Structure 1
């Protein structure tokens, strides 16, 4: 009985006292535009992405979340932009986000309409900088600067 309780405490500790791991995606279309989503919960623009599901690797999460949130197909993962882990980076929960640049193509249309209200491609000159959700302004700036960030 004691071992069972210790096991339950360990599992609960893992589930509730450790950051959630997710991905953030910087989708670049063949014409060089960057795709952002408008979040239904806050109305803010942000980069697509989401939580890594149990039994799923990061590349699979990137492909799945890209399609769910933008309707686009993954052509290839280009580069690691960074790993962002500040406890306050996501106002909902402590999360670690692995940010990658991807080449994407297809027709933009949110599949997950509970989370996403709009999908739009932006020229670099028209990105809504300073108004993005979470820490996506920093992630996007790190991408544009060509840096690889561990934060």
Structure 2
């Protein structure tokens, strides 16, 4: 019985003690504005994004999360901005976030009202004041500085 318990603990450790991959997206509209969403869980503005589902690659997750949270369509991923992996970057779980800049089109519409309470396009020079959710303030600072960050 103790050997079975050890095996069970090992399996649970493998499943639950590893970072979860996710994405953040800097959606750029044709007019150059950046789209942000207001999160239901903390009321803060945030880059759209989320966890990568089983069987998905990063581009597929970007396309899906963008559509779910903003209603927008991915035209193309312009560039990799960074990979963020600090254990405390997301208060819910240890996640590894792949941040991309994306050219998008379409009409903004909330499709996931359980996660998103508002959506808005901002000129790059007039992003909402105050702290953004998670580490998105740092992500946007790295983006505007033209960096490709691994943190």
State the superposition RMSD in angstroms.
1.5
- Who is 2:21 aligned against? 21
- Who is 2:133 aligned against? 133
CA contact (8 A) 1:110 1:119 kept: yes
The SS at the match of 2:100 is: strand
CA distance in 1, matches of 2:3, 2:54: 25
Displacement of 1:104: 0.4
Give a deviation string over 1:3-25, Cα, whole Å, max 9, x none. 86565433311221111110000
**TM-score for the superposition, normalised by structure 2:** 0.94
Deviant stretches of 4+, over 3 Å: 1-10
- Who is 2:58 aligned against? 58
- Equivalences, count: 151
- Who is 1:112 aligned against? 112
- Who is 2:31 aligned against? 31
CA distance in 2, matches of 1:145, 1:129: 18
Give a deviation string over 1:23-57, Cα, whole Å, max 9, x none. 00000000000000000111100000000011111
- Who is 2:103 aligned against? 103
CA distance in 2, matches of 1:144, 1:129: 16
Unaligned segments of structure 1, at least 5 residues:
none
The SS at the match of 1:126 is: coil
Alignment partner of 1:94 is 2:80 = no
CA 150–115 in structure 1, closer or farther in 2 if over 3 Å, else same:
same
CA contact (8 A) 1:129 1:137 kept: no
